[in-house]
Amino acid sequence: MKSFFRFVFRSIAWIQLFAILGCFPSDIGSGYIDSEETITPAGIDRLYSETDSDLVLSIPADLTIDQEEIAAIYNSAGEVPHCRNTAREPISIILAEACILYNSFYLFPEYLPGTLDSITDVADYVNLMNQSDPFTFYYSAEDFSEYKSFREGDSAHIGFRYRSDSDVVSEQTPLLIEEVYPFTRAWIDGLQAGDTVIAVNGSNISGLLLEDVIRLFPDQEGSSVELSVQRNSQEVRISTGAEENIAILLEPGTAYLSVRSFTLNTGSGVKQDFQRLQEASAEPIEKIILDLRDNPGGSVAGALQLTDYLINQDVPSGTHPILIMDGTYYQDSARYLGDYDADNIGDFSEVSFVVLVDGSTASASEITVAALKYYNEATIMGMQTYGKGVSQFVFELVDGSGVWITAHYVYPPDRVSFHQTGITPDYVLMDQPVSFSEDPLLEKAKLFLRTGDVAETGAIKEKLDRSEFTRHDSETYEERLKNRKKFWK
C-alpha cells in the first residue's frame, strides 16, 4: 500500500522455499535523519529517529538503504511493542525489520520476546524462538546468497565432502574425499570415502591452490566431470556430475528418479528427465521408482509442481487438493491438482509406481508423499518420514541476510497432520543402503514392481516407535540444511 508494503513485496518476490508468498501491510509516516547524522564520520553507524519519538534506529555505516525504506521500517517498528527496548537505546534496523516480520507472520506468537532488551542482533533474536521452534532460523548474508542460488535451481552438487590439510594440493596434502552422501551422483557413480582426487578432466591437480581445484568441480545442474582418484594404490576414473534430480534406466522399462531437494525447477526438471529416459528406452517405461530418501524438502512450489505431474487425475479444477495451508497468512487455503501441470507422468497403477522414503524425508518431500499415498498413485516403501508439517516464509533482510519464519501448518488432502509424527509407508522396511549397487530397499522395490511382492516385509500400515528407525536426531533441521552444503561438491 505505502512504501513498506512495496518494500516487503520486493523482498519476498522470489520466496518459495517452504511457502508460496508473503505480504506485510503497514502504514508509514514521514521521517528524517537526525541532523547529527549529516556530520557522522565515515565508518560510524548512523542514527535515525523522528520528532516526538523515543525510538531510535541504528543503521550500519556500510549498509546501502534509501530514505523510504528506513522510514517504512521505523514507522512499522514503532507500532509493535515488542520491537522496542525499555532502555530506549538504539536498535539495529536489521533487527527491527526481522522483529516486524516475526510479529506479522509467526505461527507461534507466544514464543516472541516481550521486548528487545539485551538483544542486539538478528541471530540472537531468532535463536530465542529456535529453542522452542526448530524450523525458524537465520542465515548470514553469505549463506543466504548461496541459498538463493540453490533455491532457484541454479546450483547443484556432485555429492561428496572433501578435505585438504593445506591451501595447496600436493602428494603430501592431497584433496581427500571424506564422505560420499547417499543417493547423490557421487554415490551412484561409485566415488568412495577415502578416495584421493588426483586429476580433474584429465588434468593433474598437484601444485594447484585448493580454491582453484574446487572451481574445477561443476556446480550447475546437469553439468558433468571426469575425476581421476587414487584408491588402494590404483588410479580409478569416474565420470560423474552435479545433479539434484537424477534419472536412470535401471533395466528396460524401469526408471529410477531421485530428487535430492526441492527447488523451483524440480517439477520441470523431473519431467524433462523422464521424457529423456522414455526417448532413450528401447521399450515403454511402465515402472517407476521415485527416491525421496534423505530429501529434507525445499520449495513447496517445486513439490506442488512435481506432485501434480506425478498424479494421473482427470478431475475438475479446484476439486482435488494436493495440500491445505492454515496459519497467519493462509487460512484453510488449498492447492489443487491441475493448478501446476496440465500433463502427468502417465497412467501407472499402484503396483508400477514406488516411492522410497526414510526418517530424513521431510517437509516438501512429505507433501509429495502424502498426496501420492492419499490418491493411491504409488506404493510407499521404507521408514516413517521425518514429520515436518509446517511451512516457512523466507525473507531477505535489508543487509542481505535471511530469516525462515514458521508461518503455517500444512495438511495432506485428508487434513490429518503429519507434523511430529511423520508418514507411515505402506511397507515399513528398515533396510539401510551400503552403496548404490548394494541397496536392499531399492532391490525390494524392483522386486515389488516385477511381482507385486516384497520379501521379508516388516510391519505393513503400522506406525513404528520413533526410536526404532534411523534419522538425524543429533542434528537440528537447520543444521541439516546448512551442513548439506558445507564443503560439498
Residue 340 belongs to some domain of the structure: yes
CA distances from 386 to 285, 314, 381 (A): 31, 31, 14
Could you tell me the CATH number of the domain that includes residue 329?
3.90.226.10
> Within 13 Å of residue 131, how many CA atoms lie on the same side as its CB?
9
Containing domain of residue 236, as a range?
A: 160-242
Same domain, 325 and 381: yes
Same domain, 219 and 284: no
Same domain, 459 and 367: yes
Same domain, 282 and 329: yes
Residue 218 belongs to some domain of the structure: yes
The model's pTM: 0.84
Same domain, 204 and 268: no
423 and 452 Cβ atoms separated by less than 8 Å: no
Same domain, 223 and 255: no
Tens digit of each residue's pLDDT, the chain (489 residues): 334 443 443 444 334 333 333 232 222 222 333 333 433 444 567 899 887 788 999 999 999 998 999 999 999 999 998 998 888 889 999 999 999 999 999 999 999 999 999 999 999 999 999 999 999 999 999 989 888 877 775 678 899 999 999 999 999 999 999 999 999 999 999 999 999 999 999 999 999 999 999 999 988 888 999 999 999 999 999 999 999 899 999 988 999 999 998 988 899 999 999 999 999 888 999 999 999 999 999 899 999 999 999 998 788 889 999 999 999 999 999 999 999 887 888 777 667 999 999 999 999 999 999 999 999 999 999 999 999 999 999 999 999 999 999 999 999 999 999 999 999 999 999 999 999 999 999 999 999 999 888 765 444 444 333 333 333 344 566 666 655 554 456
Same domain, 458 and 341: yes
Question: In the chain, how many H helices and how many E strands?
Answer: 12, 21
Same domain, 432 and 284: yes
Same domain, 191 and 320: no
Q: Which residue has the cell 492419499?
A: 374
For residue 466, the Cα-to-chain-centroid distance in whole angstroms is 23
Same domain, 95 and 57: yes
Same domain, 298 and 439: yes
Residue 72 belongs to some domain of the structure: yes
